[in-house]
Amino acid sequence: MATLSNTPFSIDRKIVQLVKPSKPTPSEVLSLSSIDNDTILENLWQSIYVYKANDNVSAAHKGQADPASILAEALSKVLVYYFPLAGKLRRHSDGKLRLKCNADDGVPFVVATANCQLSSVNYLDKINTENGRHFVCDFPSDSDHGYHPLALQVTKFSCGGFTIGMSLSHSVCDGFGAAQFFRALVELASGESEPSVKPVWERERLVGNPTQEPFDVPVDKNSLATSPYLPTSDVVHEYFDVSAKSIAKLKMSLMEEANQGHDTIERMTTFEILGAYVWRSRFRALKMDSNGNCCLHVAVGLRNLMEPPLPEGYYGNAFISANVVLPARDLEKGSLTKVVKFIKQNKNLALSNDYIRTFLGDMEKFPELNAKMKTGASMELTDWRHLGLLEGIDFGWKPVNLLPVPISNVPLFKELCMLMPPPKLSDTAMKSGDVRVFVSLPRAAMPKFKEEMDALMYGVDAAST
């Protein structure tokens, strides 16, 4: 029996069923974009949506207030629109992913029951990865015919609350696309006849034209800083809640520093200053070699950067990476204002159509890219705050929390830092404008990282520790 918030709990899973589209759907083989085909993204991204018990279920569901049944029916309906998610995904001998659409494959769907109330486990808030696995469906894949790009698990608690664990292939959807699909599912669970936003495939829009030029890596792997804690498989994931007040204080300090020097910056965003602070804190926690280089990979959305823009319903991966490279000693000891400035400059460079075209062309040479970029001296920074992940997904029950469940042995998740919206728990101390920071680090490095974050969150001096 597992323990969460000092409360023992157990999960009883029923047999997995395959939910199929409620109407006939096309049988075809779909290609994916250059970004979708990146081998780094080929994993199942798992997340848990937490719904609080609600005695006032909408009139449409009176007498049928079982969230699992409602969601299974809604899934069957939404797959008519998102029929590729009911198919099988497989990488072929040419190195390209293809999705075989076959309604008979269906989506793995499992119902589970927990022997406790959600409140007794604090609505799974800040759940660790090991316990998070109980609330997502790990359906075995078929290596010969491909694997399911989507699986769902509904776990019901004795209080009437429940969780929805979604496992979704990152090769098929990015965070924006996942949020779009989930909202469509909830809309149909609410009684709507169709999604408000119709899904669009059109992956050919983001297929690059590779050139004969060698790939220009952001930094030579032989020059990268090293850490005594890497490589390792002992990776832990932690949440840090940063108040708007702490963010404002840091921003003011950096603006004053910029005004006193020659690094004038008209505007610093929360993303930039938190990204800079966390990057430096991670470097210090890892005790990186100060004679090497460090690289920050910033995810930049390109849905509205394309000419013409991608259609509203596009749900594939639509982001590029802005790469910020700094000498390790500058990151550790230099001005944090300069780090913010470099992040802003490289983000702006990534907004040009020339950069996007070059990036997509380089992605066509992904085997070479991945071979050159395998390192522990980099950090992946992404922003979940504006994806609307907890907005518009009320269907008689209200969502109160969202938790990622990263796969620790996947390289992408070992270097991950996410900025997340605060939960909607009534007893949480977090308010609008606060930011939840989710970080992955080797276990041995996490105590020092916590000290660095305490310096930001509580004004505790970590510089000397």
pLDDT score of 141? 66
Q: How confident is the model at residue 29 (pLDDT cuts 50, 70, 90)?
A: very high
| Residue 408 contacts residue 382 (beta carbons within 8 Å) | no
Interval 361-409: pLDDT, tens: 888 876 555 544 445 578 999 999 988 888 889 998 999 999 999 876 6
| Residue 316 contacts residue 172 (beta carbons within 8 Å) | yes
**Calpha distance 377→324 (Å, rounded):** 12
In single-letter form, the type of residue at position 2 comes to A
Instruction: Collapse the DSSP code of 369 into the 3-class scheme (helix H, G, I; strand E, B; otherwise coil) and give the result.
Output: helix
CATH number of 221-385+407-457: 3.30.559.10
Mean pLDDT, rounded, for 92-107: 92
Q: Rounded to 5 degrees, what are φ and ψ at 277?
A: -65, -45
| Residue 172 contacts residue 83 (beta carbons within 8 Å) | no
Residue of 216, 246, 249 lying closest to 362 (CA atoms): 216
pLDDT score of 392? 86
Mean pLDDT, rounded, for 162-184: 97
Domain chopping of the chain, boundaries: 2-204, 221-385+407-457
Provide the b/e sequence for 27-58 (b: ≥16 CB within 10 Å).
Answer: eeebebbbbbbbebbbbbbbbbbbbbbbeebe
**Calpha distance 51→398 (Å, rounded):** 5
- 2-204 matches 221-385+407-457 in fold: yes
**Calpha distance 461→15 (Å, rounded):** 52
Of residues 261 and 325, more confidence is placed in 325
What number of CA atoms fall less than 13 Å from residue 418's CA on the CB side? Answer: 22
**Calpha distance 58→44 (Å, rounded):** 33
Mean pLDDT, rounded, for 69-78: 98
pLDDT score of 464? 37
Query: Quick check: bond before 231 cis, omega within 30?
Result: yes
Give CA angle at 135 (232, 83), nearest 5°: 100
Mean pLDDT, rounded, for 99-125: 93
CATH 3.30.559.10 for the 2-204 domain, yes or no: yes
Q: Which residues are catalytic?
A: 170, 394
Residue of 99, 103, 62 lying closest to 80 (CA atoms): 103
Rg (CA), the chain: 22
Total residues belonging to the chain: 465
Name residues whose C-beta falls within 8 Å of residue 270's C-beta, 6 or more positions apart in sequence.
247, 251, 419, 435
| Residue 34 contacts residue 364 (beta carbons within 8 Å) | yes
For residue 60, give Cα distances in angstroms to 163, 188, 192, 396. 21, 12, 11, 9
Q: Which region among 77-91, 272-286, 301-315 has the lowest average model confidence (pLDDT)?
A: 301-315
